[in-house]
Amino acid sequence: MPWDDLKQALTAQQAVYTPADPVWTVKGANGESFRAHPAFLDGVRVAGALPALVTATDGTFAAALGRWRVTLDRHLSDVPGARNALGLAADRFTTLDEEIVLLRYHESARSQPGGANPVVAAAGTAFADRRQAATVLDFTQLHAFFLAAVSNFGGAYDASTYPGRVDAMYALAVGSPAATAAGPVRLGVEADWQTHRPGFAPTIQAGRARLNFRTPNALAGHALKHILRTTPQIPGDQAGVHGLIATYLQEARDKINDTSAATVNSALTQTGTTRTYYFGIVNQHATMVAVNSSGDAWISTFYAPTRL
Q: Is residue 45 part of a domain?
A: yes
Last residue of a domain, one of 70, 85, 100: 70
Residue 98 covered by a domain:
no
Please check whether residue 165 lies inside any domain of the structure: no
Ordered per-residue pLDDT tens for the chain, 308 residues: 579 999 999 999 999 999 999 999 999 999 999 999 999 999 999 999 999 999 999 999 999 999 999 999 999 999 999 999 999 999 999 999 999 999 999 999 998 888 899 999 999 999 999 999 999 999 999 999 999 999 988 889 999 999 999 999 999 999 999 999 999 999 999 999 999 999 999 999 999 999 999 999 999 999 999 999 987 678 889 999 999 999 999 999 999 999 999 999 999 999 999 999 999 999 999 999 999 999 999 999 999 999 99
pTM (two decimals): 0.94
Is 25 within the bounds of a domain? Answer: yes
Provide the residue range defining the domain that includes 197. 175-308
Count of structural domains, the chain? 2
- Residue that terminates a domain, selected from 22, 44, 70: 70
Choosing from 20, 45, 70, the residue where a domain stops is 70
Is 245 within the bounds of a domain? Answer: yes
Do both 179 and 66 map to the same domain? no
Q: Is residue 163 part of a domain?
A: no
Residue 88 lies in a domain: no
N- to C-terminal Cα separation, the chain: 44
- Kindly state whether residue 127 falls inside one of the protein's structural domains: no
